[in-house]
Chain A
């Protein structure tokens, strides 16, 4: 038991230093202990709010993640507003009023962002519609149940086969020649 612990010690040591190794390249832990609120409930709310607010200096980090000066100031403001009794939405509105919607990492759903939110669904819908129209048209032209490629269930392959002219059946001469070739091959 004791030897096991001794063996584990260097491993634990490594685990302990590993974050420090990362820290040399990644930004430091953003929320500093001195910024935290004494009330754990308020602090938890502050953390949640900080996660949805963009750091405008680094742009793709939230103020919760960022070590930038402005992010720190905003974190403190968020905590001051919460301590003053603001609701979560009131705090977020306070920041949005100064920095605009861009400060929200998740863009709000409203008139100006309709294309952003609905665009992908509209494009996917158009694609689906085009696919249905294409497949219906081609499977209707002869890719029916009797189709050699697999019939109506495999509409895609059926459609592809149907779009090519069907080859004519072999003539008697051709059949004889084929038999001869196969026989030669077998020898």
Chain B
């Protein structure tokens, strides 16, 4: 081993760590990898939102709907969730494109407020299921809403986005995954 190599060793160790930290520290620790990617959706059956009528509001949906073939997007939202409000126009935009069925999972919400929220902002969802206790949400590994899942025709979760969707994320992350699954 030459002497010069020894003098270069600290520098190379430093550079290695610099690269490591440059990548590691720019990652958002709040965003977790989903344990459910490429796994089948959990078994569940959600009722519609209780609006006082026997049939309720929003039809409700279950794991069977997600396995019926065709791509679905499951968007976890609640009226108490402020980022959900900023995300809402993009969920609407996605639903209008008709590239996938868009389901709303109404997470730990009071029917009164979720109905008001949907009336005010509009209801983009093909179906809404109410999860007032959050148990189905936990089965989906939900920890911070809004969260958006993309499920393939066979009922496998293929993609998850945590946080409010915006135009950029819709164009560059959500739609490409749907396009890829269509092929």
List A residues at the B interface (Cβ < 8 Å).
56-57, 59, 69-70, 73-74, 77, 96-102
- Least Cβ distance of A34 to chain B in Å? 15
Assembly CA distance A169 to B7 (angstroms)? 33
B34 cross-chain contacts in A, Cβ below 8 A: 100
Whether A100 lies near B32 (C-beta < 8 A) is: yes
- Least Cβ distance of B80 to chain A in Å? 10
Contact of A102 (CB < 8 Å), options: B32, B42, B134, B140: B32
Number of interface residues of B (CB under 8 A): 18
- Least Cβ distance of A136 to chain B in Å? 14
Say yes or no: is B143 at the interface (Cβ < 8 Å to chain A): yes
A96 cross-chain contacts in B, Cβ below 8 A: 35
Contact A98-B140, Cβ < 8 Å, known A59-B29, A73-B134? yes
Contact A56-B32, Cβ < 8 Å, known A69-B108, A70-B143, A99-B143? yes
Nearest A-chain residue to B143, judged by Cβ: A56
Contact of A98 (CB < 8 Å), options: B33, B36, B133, B134: B36
How many residue pairs, one in A and one in B, have C-beta atoms under 8 Å apart?
A: 40
Whether B35 lies near A73 (C-beta < 8 A) is: no
Whether B144 lies near A99 (C-beta < 8 A) is: no
A73 cross-chain contacts in B, Cβ below 8 A: 133-135, 138
- Least Cβ distance of A96 to chain B in Å? 7
A57 cross-chain contacts in B, Cβ below 8 A: 143-144
- Least Cβ distance of B95 to chain A in Å? 27
- Least Cβ distance of B130 to chain A in Å? 16
Assembly CA distance A100 to B36 (angstroms)? 8
A69 cross-chain contacts in B, Cβ below 8 A: 108, 134
Whether B141 lies near A99 (C-beta < 8 A) is: yes
Nearest A-chain residue to B34, judged by Cβ: A100
Assembly CA distance A96 to B138 (angstroms)? 11
Say yes or no: is B38 at the interface (Cβ < 8 Å to chain A): no
B29 cross-chain contacts in A, Cβ below 8 A: 59
Whether B108 lies near A98 (C-beta < 8 A) is: no
Assembly CA distance A186 to B33 (angstroms)? 78
Can you name 5 A-B pairs with beta carbons within 8 Å? Answer: A56-B143, A57-B144, A69-B108, A99-B143, A102-B32
Contact of B138 (CB < 8 Å), options: A59, A74, A100: A74
A101 cross-chain contacts in B, Cβ below 8 A: 35
Say yes or no: is B171 at the interface (Cβ < 8 Å to chain A): no
Mark B115-137 against chain A: 1 for CB-CB distance below 8 A, else 0. Answer: 00000000000000000011100
B179 cross-chain contacts in A, Cβ below 8 A: none
- Least Cβ distance of B87 to chain A in Å? 19
Taking CB atoms and an 8 Å cut-off, the chain B residues in 86-136 that contact chain A are 108, 133-135
Contact A97-B35, Cβ < 8 Å, known A59-B29, A69-B108, A70-B143? yes
Whether B144 lies near A98 (C-beta < 8 A) is: no
Contact A99-B134, Cβ < 8 Å, known A56-B144, A59-B29, A70-B143? no
